[in-house]
Structure 1
């Protein structure tokens, strides 16, 4: 999709202020309401905007531990990868799953209440996925920042 200056302005505003009204957005990008709404709908339908959500504070919800887990599968096959991805997507504590290069196959971003609950999660949920050969965990001691906005 070919994005112009106004599209970029709208995307920057929506990334930081997703609840801004169409009228306010239109004012900021110097458009009237209808053309502004039309642009937003076009960005949504072309999947440039793929959703809206509230950003939650994990600590306020008792989720105090962030872990990156490196996972190696027992076999390097399409079937094993598909089974792993389907199973891990069902696990609520897994926030992200990425296929990576190197000695591991996947990198998971996992959140838990504490180290004890993470250990239980690994033993009873993640570890029960049959095609996993190895899991190596790295606990985040302090997250200095986490950006949600993409550079436009």
Structure 2
């Protein structure tokens, strides 16, 4: 069945996002709980076309989800550790196996496949140094194919943003 918004989804997927979409995305990044009424006023559209655009951006995968930003210290996870991992071999199977293993661990907040000296960069959060040591001993060092692990402890964020510069 054809829906009126399908043309907008197809156009968004084909041509990318326009200036109005960018205003919508900027506003939603700042406040994802904003009502459609407030959003439409902020971007200069009436509510119905604004809602159609939001739904099209969601359907096209530009908006991948909504969530709350949680202060990690407030929930008892004040320690951030950046871990550089070098694998023994950089074959696709080894890279995939490592990625599959660490993606099951809730302490790993981010993981990036890297170029350069190391193969992966992880950001891990934990409650204290003992918790990090347990993570290191019981999980990370137990993985096959890990050649080296280098940990750097964050003293604190200088800048942290989830808002893309649109």
Tell me the TM-score normalised to structure 2 length: 0.89
> 1:101 maps to what in 2?
115
Partner of 1:72: 86
Aligned to 2:147: 133
Q: What is the match of residue 64 of structure 2?
A: 50
Corresponding position of 1:117 = 131
The alignment status of 1:2 with 2:4, answered yes or no, reads no
The corresponding residue for 1:29 is: 43
Shift of 1:28: 1.2
- Give SS of 2:74's match: helix
Cα distance in 2 between the residues matched to 1:72 and 1:33? 51
1:41 — aligned with what? 55
Q: How many Å separate the matches in 2 of 1:142 and 1:60?
A: 14
Alignment-derived partner of residue 82 in structure 1: 96
Q: Pick which of 1-10 and 44-53 moved more.
A: 1-10
Q: Cα RMSD over matched residues?
A: 0.9
Deviations 1:120-147 (A, max 9, x none): 1011011111121110000011212201
Q: State the TM-score, normalized to the length of structure 1.
A: 0.96
